[in-house]
């Protein structure tokens, strides 16, 4: 190796040294810096998601505390004054839509957004009519898609209490 190095002229040696430095810098970047930067970006995104979740949980905690204060106990409130999230979940399950519920989340301070998949169209309509009549819950937005099966739909529903 030493003989080979000694056999190179000055210009070739400089090119090899510069090339080794460039390759070393590239390896340091690819093995150390780039994974660190990627991890920081992922953690930043995770922090944002967790912050949103915390805010939602704090709002829900306040709603639960207010509900408990209204009833004077830890038991759930009657349909007119309870949490809309709980009401929607309970009534949907009673209307044979429990398995179709894929996601329920608060929408703003007064609403609930609900995702239903592979649900009976008739059951959805009956359920929406029932909660409007008995609990004053109204549909603010609805989107319904029909997959291949007749009578079965995927729906995105936004609900709000009537007077709010």
Q: Write the secondary structure of the chain as one string of H (helix), E (strand) and C (coil).
A: CHHHHHCCCHHHHHHHHHHHHHHHHHHHHHHHHHHHHHHHHHHHHHHHHHHHHHHHHHHHHHHHHHHHHHHCCCCCCCCCCCCHHHHHHHHHHHCCCHHHEEEEEEECCCEEEEEEEEEEHHHHHHHHHHHHHHHCEEEEEEEEECCCCCCEEEEEEEEEECCC
Q: What pLDDT score was predicted for residue 99? A: 87
Question: Residue 157 has what pLDDT?
Answer: 92
- Residue 63: per-residue pLDDT: 82
- Note the pLDDT of residue 74: 41
pLDDT, mean of each 10-residue run, the chain (164 residues): 89 95 95 93 92 87 78 45 80 87 84 91 90 88 88 91 66
Instruction: Label residue 35 exposed, middle or buried (CB < 10 Å: 0-12, 13-18, 19+).
Output: exposed
- pLDDT for 24: 96
- How high is the pLDDT of residue 42? 93
The residue behind tokens 């970006």 is 41
Q: What is the pTM of this model?
A: 0.49
* Token pair 């070393």: residue: 24
pLDDT at 82: 65
């Amino acid at each position: 190796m030493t003989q080979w190095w000694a056999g190179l002229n000055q210009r070739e040696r400089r090119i090899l040294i510069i090339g080794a430095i460039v390759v070393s810098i590239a390896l340091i970047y690819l093995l150390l810096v780039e994974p660190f930067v990627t991890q920081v970006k992922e953690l930043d995104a995770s922090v944002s998601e967790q912050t949103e979740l915390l805010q939602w949980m704090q709002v829900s905690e306040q709603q639960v505390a207010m509900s408990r204060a209204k009833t004077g106990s830890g038991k759930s409130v009657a349909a007119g004054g309870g949490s809309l999230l709980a009401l929607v979940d309970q009534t949907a399950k009673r209307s044979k839509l429990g398995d179709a519920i894929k996601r329920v989340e608060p929408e703003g301070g007064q609403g609930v957004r609900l995702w239903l998949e592979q649900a009976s169209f008739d059951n959805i309509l009956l359920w929406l009519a029932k909660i409007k009549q008995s609990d004053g819950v109204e549909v603010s937005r609805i989107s319904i898609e029909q997959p291949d099966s007749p009578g079965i739909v995927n729906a995105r529903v936004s609900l709000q209490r009537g007077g709010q």
